[in-house]
């Protein structure tokens, strides 16, 4: 576990400055499963098609839009206004919470939203579920998310959905 880390990309940094890798997150949860919550803030489609840690609460921080942003070359995510209230259904502001997304960016946004709401022990899982991209231009895997991350760390995950651990937006549930 690390405190503020200047080597992290800005998009993965949080106001609380608490960070763990996916491997560290799993170890922290295993040591105290009754006291440590893992919250996966990705979309239901990501849980379904990419997989997820079965023990994690699935509480999306954003929803996928279907309006192409030509400037960014992507379909941007739209933040969900009831994210914090859904987290409050399972967590208290003093709880230890480990927040993950695909690779650490959305989870940083979620950590900051929770910090603004008074949560104090919220860690960003900086490599997320899938990890960072392979940057070696000579690799056949260049551009694929195969560096670190929950799936690549040896931590357990599944494709099987766990509806009892999903808190989806009220208007989409």
Give the per-residue pLDDT at 6.
65
CA 25, 31, 36, 37 torsion-angle sign: positive
Pick the CATH number of 10-163 from 3.40.640.10, 2.60.40.420, 3.40.50.300, 3.40.250.10: 3.40.250.10
The structural domains of the chain, with segments of one domain joined by +, span 10-163
Provide, rounded to the nearest whole percent, the portion of the chain with pLDDT above 70: 95
Q: What pLDDT, in 10s, does the model give residues 139-161?
A: 888 888 878 899 999 999 999 99
Is the predicted pLDDT of residue 4 greater than 60, yes or no? no
Q: Which of 41-45, 87-91, 166-170 has the lowest mean pLDDT?
A: 166-170
pTM over 0.95: no
Q: What pLDDT, in 10s, does the model give residues 65-119?
A: 999 999 999 999 999 999 999 999 999 999 999 999 999 999 999 999 999 999 9
As a three-state string, the secondary structure of the chain is CECCCCCCCHHHCCCCCCEECHHHHHHHHHHCCCCEEEEECCCHHHHHHHCECCCCEECCCEEECCCCECCCCECCEEECCCHHHHHCCCCCCCCEEEEECCCCHHHHHHHHHHHHCCCCEEEEECCCCCCEEECCCCCCCECCEEECCCCCCCCCCECCCCHHHECCCCCCC
Which own/partner contact pairs does 114-118 have at CB distance under 8 Å and 24+ positions apart?
Answer: 114/84, 114/87, 115/14, 115/15, 115/16, 116/15, 117/84, 117/88, 117/93, 118/93
């Amino acid at each position: 576990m690390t405190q503020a880390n200047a080597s992290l990309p800005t998009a993965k940094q949080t106001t609380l400055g608490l960070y763990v890798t996916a491997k560290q997150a799993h170890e922290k949860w295993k040591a105290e499963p009754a006291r440590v919550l893992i919250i996966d803030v990705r979309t239901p489609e990501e849980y379904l098609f990419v997989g997820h840690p079965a023990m994690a609460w699935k509480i999306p921080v954003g929803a996928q839009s279907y309006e192409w942003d030509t400037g960014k070359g992507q379909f941007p995510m739209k933040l969900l206004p009831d994210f914090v209230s859904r987290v409050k259904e399972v967590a208290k502001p003093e709880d230890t919470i480990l927040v993950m997304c695909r690779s650490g960016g959305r989870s940083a946004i979620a950590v900051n939203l929770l910090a603004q709401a008074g949560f104090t022990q919220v860690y960003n899982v900086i490599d997320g579920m899938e990890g960072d991209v392979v940057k070696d231009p000579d690799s056949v895997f260049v551009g694929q998310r195969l560096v670190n991350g929950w799936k690549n760390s040896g931590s357990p995950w599944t494709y099987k959905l766990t509806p009892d651990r999903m808190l989806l937006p009220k208007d989409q549930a």
